[in-house]
Amino acid sequence: MRDHSKHIEVSRAEGVATLLEHCAFTPGVEEISLEQAFGRTLAVDATAQITMPNCLTCNMDSIALHWSDFEGLDGGIPDISQWKRGVEWQFANTGVAMPEGFDTAIVIENAVVSKDDTTLEQIILPPSRQYAGTSSEGSRMRKGDPVAPAGTLITPLIAAALGAAGYTTVPVMAKPRVAFIPTGNELVAMGEEIGKGKNIETNSLVIRGKVEAWGGECKVWPIVRDNPQAIEAALREAAASCDIIVLNAGSSKGSVDWGMEVLEEIGEVLYHETNHGPGHHSSGSVVDGVPVVGISGPPLGAAFTTDFYLKPLINYWFGKSPEPQTVTARLAAEFPAGGPGSKPGNGKPSGEDRPSVVQEGKPFFAIQHLELRYGDDGVLEAIPIPFRPNLVKANTSGAYYALNRSEKLPAPGDLIEVELRG
């Protein structure tokens, strides 16, 4: 039996910090069409390429006037009986240049115009000042004005602002290339025949979906069998072509789990396991200068360990905070007895139970999935969801909470700090 007694265990915070210390990311820059830039991140500070508006423009559908005709009348209205369209007045529309020579506007509803649009019959309310109803040249932006800083996520409104500032292409940060390597003799690809004792590999869907949602691109490796040479070859190939590697499984204590041994041989293992479960056998390593996030478990466990350890690396790539997003919520129900992963029974240990990982003076956390909702009084509430690998409700939960198994559990009504899912 292989010796795991010297495995390094860390807290989640320690694991993330250690991985980040070994990230030497140098994101490239790509120039892409603004129409294709949604969800991308600006690589440089964007400044206005043009001055807008580039002349005096009208703010509304209106009647354009000369302020000189109203100046000195103290809010009065001049005799307009002889006014001609195009000379003393003219139509002006929202966002377009004021007619040549006109400097002031009143909203169209404050004027009465003849049915044939040739005669201004009445001005109901006069303009309040010169240039009323207009925008001056450069009032919205001048060439060189800041539009959006580097690191800005390009949303539809940001894209519109960039387009209005004269951009048709934008420099964006290259996406981090994330390799996902699934390992295991028991796995078959989706669509393949499922032999006796085999499982369909679906974690690649979880990882790909999350990586793309976080702004990266994911390259999924074919299933790698439990063979040290095959695992090494996949890791070497991934390190040569990608910025981050996610190695799935092969990190526990099975007789053919070779992942950690291979990583020890060809790279540097930063830690072998974490002080929480599920996900106890999550690891962090470096191979050829590329960080390797080791995750274990079926999709439900792989999902949150990816949130915990991969998302901070992708955020770090883009210059964002690696810290998780948290909110305060009121616990609305008791946590399941024994915490997540507990089994019904008489409480007596049995041969199929793993020895407790909880040690005296050393905290160990159970990750609890939570549903978030607002109570009748408007307070955000957290409802614990039982942990079962194929429970759809847990897969779609809104938040996590780390239960310290060595401490008293929070009670319904207590306010707790919960982490929003990635």
CA torsion through residues 308, 302, 9, 317, sign: negative
- pLDDT at res. 26: 94
Distance CA 367, CA 335 (A): 11
Hey, what are 222's tokens?
Answer: 């074919």
Q: Which residues pair with 299 in a beta bridge?
A: none
Q: What are phi and psi of 123, to 5 degrees?
A: -110, 115
* Terminal-residue alpha carbon distance, the chain: 38
Structure tokens at 315: 């955020």
The beta strand positions in 67-113, using DSSP E, are 90-92, 104-107, 111-113
Q: What pLDDT is attached to residue 250? A: 57
Residue 257 CB contacts under 8 Å (≥ 6 apart), including other chains: 226, 249, 250, 251
The per-residue pLDDT for 352 is 43
Percent of residues, the chain, with pLDDT higher than 90: 77
Class of domain 9-27+175-317: alpha beta
pLDDT of residue 12: 94
CA 184/CA 223 separation, integer angstroms: 7
CATH tag, 57-135? 2.170.190.11
In sequence order, what are the residues at sequence separation of 6 or more whose Cβ sits closer than 8 angstroms to the Cβ of residue 154?
A: 37, 38, 39, 40, 41, 42, 162, 170, 172
Domain regions of the chain by residue span: 9-27+175-317, 30-52+141-173, 57-135, 326-420
Report the alpha-carbon distance of residue 218 to residue 204 in Å, rounded: 9
pLDDT at position 166, please?
A: 97
* Confidence at residue 396, expressed as pLDDT on a 0 to 100 scale: 67
pLDDT at 249: 75
Contact criterion met (CB below 8 Å) for 370 and 398:
yes
Q: How many angstroms separate the CA atoms of 80 and 257, rounded? A: 92
Quote the pLDDT of residue 394: 58
Q: What CATH number labels 30-52+141-173?
A: 3.90.105.10
Q: Identify the CA nearest to 422 among candidates 391, 390, 392, 400.
A: 400
Residue 403 tokens read as 């239960």
Q: Please tell me the distance from the alpha carbon of residue 179 to that of residue 231, in angstroms, as a whole number.
A: 13
Q: How far is the C-alpha of 171 from the C-alpha of 122, rounded, in Å?
A: 53
**pLDDT, one tens digit for every residue, the chain (422 residues):** 455 667 899 999 999 999 999 999 999 999 999 999 999 999 999 999 999 999 999 999 999 999 999 999 999 999 999 999 999 999 999 999 999 999 999 999 999 999 999 999 999 999 999 999 999 999 999 999 999 999 999 999 999 999 999 999 999 999 999 999 999 999 999 999 899 989 999 999 999 999 999 999 999 999 999 999 999 999 999 999 999 999 997 555 555 578 899 999 999 999 999 999 888 889 999 999 999 999 987 787 788 899 999 999 999 999 999 999 999 999 999 998 655 444 444 555 554 444 555 555 578 999 898 999 999 999 999 999 876 655 555 566 789 999 987 788 999 999 999 999 87
Q: Residues 184-241: pLDDT tens digits?
A: 999 999 999 899 989 999 999 999 999 999 999 999 999 999 999 999 999 999 999 9
CA distances from 45 to 36, 137, 171 (A): 19, 24, 9
pLDDT at 353 (0 to 100): 43
The structure's pTM equals: 0.83
SS3 category, 165: coil
Cβ proximity of 380 and 330 under 8 Å = yes
Least Cα distance to 299 among 378, 205, 385, 217 occurs for 205
CA dist 75 and 104 (Å) reads 14
Residue corresponding to tokens 């897969």: 395
Q: What is the pLDDT of residue 232?
A: 96
How far apart are the C-alpha atoms of 316 and 309, rounded to whole Å? 11
Q: What is the pLDDT of residue 197?
A: 87
Residue 304, pLDDT score: 85
Q: What is the pLDDT of residues 73-85, one digit of tens each?
A: 999 999 999 999 9
